[in-house]
Structure 1
């Protein structure tokens, strides 16, 4: 009996790029909801405790359960093939350019501009504008780029060490060296169907690691040194990035069945309510261990279910890419980088508008989505920018 190795993905997959577009729009919606909801954690906030403000807060909490972890999974899908083509060293240099430069530019330019509303108060305390410029605010949503750069470089280092180990074994074994075992190429595993047992094992692993991690890094922790607003979710981000790596190497995307996708999506949707309830219980001052375990379990059920369900749904129903989708996918990373400037600028212009929080959220989002893609298009036309964004 022979098996066919699953090659790592090297070509773009339309439905994966379409998922990136969806998630990028969700990022804009997430931060628009933070602008007007009952959870004011954004550069410009007009918090509301009204019913619609509370609904926006619930939307933010529900999003947080899964969508950034899914971003990391999608980001991991094309990494193995990229390392195969370029080698670990060239891949690492490329990641530093493609992720590091936007991170540094955002830190030096966009971050202080977004923090300008706090300048009068800091000036009144005797702070110089130069000190303000280099210390005010944090990288905001660029924390994702920061963490993605770290895990990508970690994978490149792993591949480099693995290749070096293989080379040493090849030197010690002349036959292996002659057969090419020391060429540093990772051998792909045979395609293996995804089973519900594998999915349950992933959820169990995520639950255990998340629970243990949150004993030291509880929800609500903020790491000021690196500007990471959600370090409590780091296990989900890292493990789902690894799942993306393995899915690419082992061909899992093609082996997921429609039934698995349907069940996963239903479970994720049904699980949102219990996940919000578990979060409320676990946030109580007297929350016990069982409440923390339940919270970790239900939110990871939602995260994994949403990821698997949407992957299958988009693979089966939304795999085509008309011209507008190709345009949107090509500019989605640039949109992610610049969207805080657009959202805050539009929100400032809308500040005199007195309407319910929910309606203002919809107006902000409706205006900002096309403006973000338009600004991204113009920015990428600047010579050299498209190389990075």
Structure 2
């Protein structure tokens, strides 16, 4: 019987689906994705008006409020994309279990690859037109022309869709690992062909501490090679110095699903997460305020070790705190929240040209950086969801988005 199951699995390119109890939809995770998506929009709005020139359209701050926006960006960067990868990792095993290797791979190509291509071919030119106009004018001053196709090629990157690009790589790697383990899993499944179903296992505090320390050390060592401010032109990764966090959080999400960790986290764990985050941040602020330029970025400095330790501690603490908070307080959805959840990925896809368009629309307005940030943010969030609704209303678009 087991041999027949092995041959069937190898032929299909997958292992037999385990008999698992049906899990209720985690509405608080959907709500977390809404919050994180809104945070992405706010993050890039802050970059627009702060002092970090890493967006399609920027207005460098001319007053002290720009430093507040920079701090907002720093806190976001420390955890929010890692949290996205963790959530994606959490839902990956269930998708693979339902579909098997080849259908899973095709589904990832459709749901991640098509939006990535749509951004590169259709949306990115809308967000990057200002850069082309400025550079073309510079070329014209020297009596040279700059065709758009050349500008498009030399400035190629995935923009905010780098997340989808990296997630697609993680999904492929996950499928390869699962496929290699198919025979071993079948051999241990017994004559029923069913894999063992794990009961939820509580998260051990020591494991959290060990993971945080390991992530801090891995990040510190990684930044010998890839310090902060690095950029991978072809892949378009704006923050490759955070790759240890992204990869480890994705893997952590996979294990969180298998062990039911989000459901076993106690309220005390959430409170401890917030407390540790606050203490770590208070201890880190003097280092940030006194460190020399680039000392925090890497290259083996002691300040970069402190930075890696703070980022790792902050990320783990915020993830614990937010997970418990949303599970206990925001584990429900009305019509509005359900609407926001359905369109969150589309918002992520289209928010760049929306922010650029609003930036140009208010270019004439002279106001403090924080004030312009607040104005554009208030307009951008509902506008992004409205445009996302229009995009998802296109024929078959909702099958991908």
Q: TM-score with structure 2 length normalisation? A: 0.88
C-alpha separation in 2, matches of 1:322 and 1:113: 34
C-alpha separation in 1, matches of 2:206 and 2:199: 18
Structure-to-structure mapping, 1:258-337, within 5 angstroms: 258-278=267-287, 284=293, 289-337=301-349
Instruction: Please point out which of 348, 356, 363 is paired with 1:344.
Output: 356
Q: State the partner residue of 2:227.
A: 218
Query: Is 2:266 the partner of 1:257?
Result: yes
C-alpha separation in 2, matches of 1:8 and 1:132: 53
Tell me how far 1:78 sits from its aligned partner: 1.2
- Deviation per residue, 1:257-291 (Å, 9 max, x gap): 00011110222234334445545666645676432
Q: State the partner residue of 1:149.
A: 168
- SS of the residue corresponding to residue 179 of structure 1 reads coil
- Deviation per residue, 1:135-161 (Å, 9 max, x gap): 435221111111111111111111111
- Deviation per residue, 1:300-352 (Å, 9 max, x gap): 00000000110001100111111100000000000000000111111111111
Does the 8 A contact of 1:43 with 1:344 survive in 2?
yes
Cα distance change, pair 204–188 in 1 and its aligned pair in 2 (3 A) = farther
Structure-to-structure mapping, 1:189-200, within 5 angstroms: 189-200=198-209
C-alpha separation in 2, matches of 1:177 and 1:273: 50
Tell me how far 1:9 sits from its aligned partner: 7.6
Q: State the partner residue of 1:92.
A: 105
Instruction: Please point out which of 351, 361, 366 is paired with 2:373.
Output: 361
Instruction: Please point out which of 40, 48, 71 is paired with 2:61.
Output: 48
Structure 1: 5+ residue stretches without partners: 171-175
Does the 8 A contact of 1:62 with 1:272 survive in 2?
no
- SS of the residue corresponding to residue 181 of structure 2 reads helix
Q: State the partner residue of 2:75.
A: 62
C-alpha separation in 2, matches of 1:98 and 1:56: 33
Tell me how far 1:106 sits from its aligned partner: 0.6
- SS of the residue corresponding to residue 300 of structure 1 reads helix
Structure-to-structure mapping, 1:9-48, within 5 angstroms: 11-48=24-61
- SS of the residue corresponding to residue 46 of structure 1 reads coil
Q: State the partner residue of 2:118.
A: 105
Does the 8 A contact of 1:112 with 1:137 survive in 2?
no
Please tell me the root mean square deviation across aligned C-alpha atoms, in Å.
2.2
Q: State the partner residue of 2:389.
A: 377
C-alpha separation in 2, matches of 1:276 and 1:61: 12
Give the stretch that moved more between structures: 116-125 or 258-267.
116-125
C-alpha separation in 2, matches of 1:8 and 1:63: 36
Cα distance change, pair 281–11 in 1 and its aligned pair in 2 (3 A) = farther
Does the 8 A contact of 2:295 with 2:303 survive in 1?
no
C-alpha separation in 2, matches of 1:356 and 1:285: 27
- SS of the residue corresponding to residue 66 of structure 1 reads helix
Cα distance change, pair 91–285 in 1 and its aligned pair in 2 (3 A) = closer
Q: State the partner residue of 2:3.
A: none
Does the 8 A contact of 1:115 with 1:137 survive in 2?
no
Does the 8 A contact of 2:79 with 2:318 survive in 1?
yes
Does the 8 A contact of 1:219 with 1:232 survive in 2?
yes
- Deviation per residue, 1:230-264 (Å, 9 max, x gap): 00000001101111110111011111000011110
Q: TM-score with structure 1 length normalisation? A: 0.90
- SS of the residue corresponding to residue 78 of structure 1 reads helix
Q: State the partner residue of 1:173.
A: none
- Deviation per residue, 1:105-143 (Å, 9 max, x gap): 111122222221222424534332222234435221111
